[in-house]
């Protein structure tokens, strides 16, 4: 069974690494996109494909402990997730002149942490429904008491489960996503269930990132739905207030939390491509004798 699980995770990672750098200005820019807590790169597929079609290099890594069972996820720490991000960033940075780091939900925290830790190698950030704390209208009020949990051993005694609409406003898209996720052999309890220990690690990451926000001086583009069911738009307002660089925000009016999949996903892609095109204008001309960027196969 363990071999089967590992094979499944490798398959997920392999087919969701988009890497088409090309030879124009756009190919000199790489987008590192980080999925959310308990998720997989499937969440970012539509955006990744759109950026790839526009000629950008895109890498969507599978974070350590993700894509398998809740036991595997619970055995990891936020530092393990961050190491996955660092490894992906090292690979993309070796082949691109500029790297934009983006993240969905909790993945946005990992993106901001990387930007704070590597200010000279992360050139901009791109955030989708950033979650400093889950406080959307579908989050049970009792969950806020989790902030009082001080020890991971106690947190592991608790279990939480995401409930409908699962971050997706459109009924048809929601059914399609649920069918796709279950076709990969993952039961719903592993997809939407969260052990308290995992959330404790998320809280630890959040506490670190909150202290670093002022040192993130890279330009940031944020997409956040006005009626987010998982993380209220106040999360983005907090980032606007505390990030050290220029912050542009696109407020979506017809999506829930999973903005990369929901009704306005095409708008999200178009604005992300525009962002990349603008960043491309900031690049210095490359020496024509420099070696061309080559496509690397997914590990």
Tens digits of residue pLDDT in 30-81: 999 999 998 889 899 999 999 999 999 999 999 999 988 888 999 999 999 9
Looking at per-residue pLDDT, the higher value among 62 and 152 belongs to 62
CB-based burial of residue 5 (10 Å sphere; 0-12 exposed, 13-18 middle, 19+ buried)? middle
Give me the sheet containing 219-225, strands edge to edge.
Answer: 57-59, 29-34, 98-104, 124-128, 219-225, 247-252
Tell me, yes or no, whether 296 lies in a domain. no
Asked whether residue 259 carries a pLDDT value surpassing 50, the answer given is yes
How much is the average pLDDT of 114-138?
Answer: 96
- Give the model's pLDDT for residue 10: 42
Residue 182 confidence class, pLDDT cut points 50, 70, 90: low
Average pLDDT, integer, range 224-235: 97
Please state, in angstroms and rounded to a whole number, the distance separating the CA atoms of residues 250 and 35: 19
Judge whether 272 and 125 are in contact, CB under 8 Å.
no
286 is a domain residue: no
Q: Tell me: pLDDT of 1 over 70.
A: no
Question: Does the residue 159 lie in any domain?
Answer: yes
Residue 154 has pLDDT above 90, yes or no: no
Q: Report how far residue 22's alpha carbon sits from residue 78's, in angstroms, rounded to the nearest whole number.
A: 34
Within the chain, strands assigned E span: 29-34, 57-59, 98-104, 124-128, 159-161, 193-195, 219-225, 247-252
* Domain count within the chain: 1
Q: Is there a domain that residue 206 lies in?
A: yes
pLDDT, mean of residues 187-195: 64
pLDDT of residue 68: 83
Cα(218)–Cα(266) distance, rounded to whole angstroms? 25
Q: How confident is the model at residue 299 (pLDDT cuts 50, 70, 90)?
A: very low
Listed in sequence order, the residues at least 6 apart from 167 whose beta carbon sits closer than 8 Å to its beta carbon are: 129, 229, 230, 256, 257, 258, 261, 262
| β-bridge pairing 159-161 and 193-195 | antiparallel
pTM: 0.85
Interatomic CA distance for residues 178 and 97, integer angstroms: 37
More confident residue, 10 or 79: 79
Q: What percent of the chain has pLDDT over 90?
A: 63
Q: What is the pLDDT of residues 234-253, one digit of tens each?
A: 999 999 999 999 999 999 99
Distance CA 139, CA 48 (A): 28
Which residues neighbour 246 within 8 Å (Cβ) at sequence distance 6 or greater?
219, 220
Residue 35: inside a domain, yes or no?
yes
In a domain, 122, yes or no: yes
Residue showing tokens 């220029």? 246
Radius of gyration of the chain (CA): 18
pLDDT of residue 192: 63
Residue 227 pLDDT class (50, 70, 90 cuts): very high
Predicted local distance difference test score (pLDDT) of residue 141: 77
- Tens digit of each residue's pLDDT (9 = 90 or more) over 263-278: 999 999 999 999 999 9
pLDDT for 131: 97
Q: What band does 283 get if pLDDT is binned at 50, 70 and 90?
A: confident
Residue 232, domain CATH = 3.40.50.1820
What domain range is 148 assigned to? 2-277
Q: Is 287 contained in some domain?
A: no
- Kindly state whether residue 289 falls inside one of the protein's structural domains: no
Please give the mean pLDDT across all residues of the chain.
84
Please give the residue that has the higher pLDDT: either 160 or 117: 117
Is residue 14 over pLDDT 80?
Answer: no
Average pLDDT of the segment spanning 136-143: 84
């Amino acid at each position: 069974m363990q071999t089967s699980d590992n094979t499944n995770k490798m398959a997920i990672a392999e087919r969701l690494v988009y890497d088409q750098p090309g030879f124009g200005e756009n190919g000199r820019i790489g987008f590192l996109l980080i999925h959310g807590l308990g998720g997989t790169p499937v969440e970012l597929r539509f955006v990744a494909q759109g950026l790839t079609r526009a000629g950008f290099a895109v890498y969507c890594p599978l974070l350590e402990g993700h894509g398998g069972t809740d036991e595997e996820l619970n055995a990891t720490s936020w530092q393990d997730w961050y190491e996955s991000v660092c490894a992906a960033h090292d690979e993309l940075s070796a082949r691109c002149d500029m790297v934009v780091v983006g993240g969905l939900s909790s993945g946005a925290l990992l993106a901001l942490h990387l930007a704070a830790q590597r200010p000279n190698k992360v050139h901009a950030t791109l955030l989708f429904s950033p979650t400093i704390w889950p406080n959307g209208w579908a989050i049970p009020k009792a969950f806020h008491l989790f902030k009082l949990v001080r020890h991971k051993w106690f947190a592991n005694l608790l279990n939480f489960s995401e409930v409908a609409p699962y971050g997706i406003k459109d009924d048809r898209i929601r059914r399609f996503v649920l069918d796709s996720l279950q076709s990969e052999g993952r039961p719903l309890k592993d997809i939407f269930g969260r052990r308290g220990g995992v959330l404790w690690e998320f809280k630890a990451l959040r506490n670190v990132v909150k202290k670093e926000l002022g040192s993130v001086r890279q330009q940031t583009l944020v997409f956040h739905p006005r009626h987010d069911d998982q993380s209220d738009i106040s999360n983005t307002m907090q980032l606007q207030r505390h990030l050290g660089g220029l912050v542009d925000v696109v407020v979506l009016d017809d999506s829930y939390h999973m903005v990369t999949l929901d009704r306005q996903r095409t708008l999200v892609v178009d604005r992300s491509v525009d962002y990349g095109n603008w960043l491309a204008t900031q690049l210095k001309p490359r020496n024509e004798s420099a070696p061309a960027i080559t496509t690397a196969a997914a590990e």
